[in-house]
Amino acid sequence: MSVSTRIALVTGANKGIGLEIARQLAQAGVFVIVGARDPGRADEALKSLLSQGLAAQSVLLDLNNSSGILAAAETIRAEHGRLDILVNNAGIVDAKDGPPTSSSPDAVRRILDTNFVGTLAVTQAMLPLLRQSAAARIVNLSSSLGSLTLNGDPASPYYAARLIGYNASKAALNMLTVQLAEELKETAIVVNSVSPGYVKTDLTGHNGFMTAEEGAKLPVKYALLGDDAVSGKFVEPNGETPW
């Protein structure tokens, strides 16, 4: 591999939008590391990419396994010495999530532990590798459901989507973007929240208006931002989103 080849880790990249992000990054000449918690699904995703002549490998990565996260970071360090792109895509929903008056606190805790705390843990573990890059990019896969402004606007199409666990997890992820972008503003690391749109995946029950291929385009764009990249933004396909 050329030393100029960018190296990307995409979490939850074994299916859906994560796999499509990995595919599009690889098609752009990036060496992609497929992060997945299930070895069998990781192998299937990797075979899919390799069969298309794309450069990739896989690493076991469970956002709820702190020792496994550190082991994944060590694997990347030992084999590559750096990371140029981190796409925090992995996340979950829970059938017992719902409005604040009726959602299961255990479900909310599971969602927050994965979508926010797990993503924070992955980001912290990968930061030493990202600091070795000349121009690192972190893309946090958010959702317009994480916008406090839109959640409080009766005219918003997201107003009625009362999922306290999921929405709160994405609002927390946006806070990670805001604070991390500020903390790293004197470095070469750019951090942004990207809402891919309403994509037809397992996460949405295959509802939505976009295919995984369409939904991957904006996260990939922000992962590949050039020297004029701006940090600390929250965007969706239609433009910048209010926090």
Q: Catalytic residue numbers?
A: 166, 170
Report how far residue 237's alpha carbon sits from residue 126's, in angstroms, rounded to the nearest whole number: 27
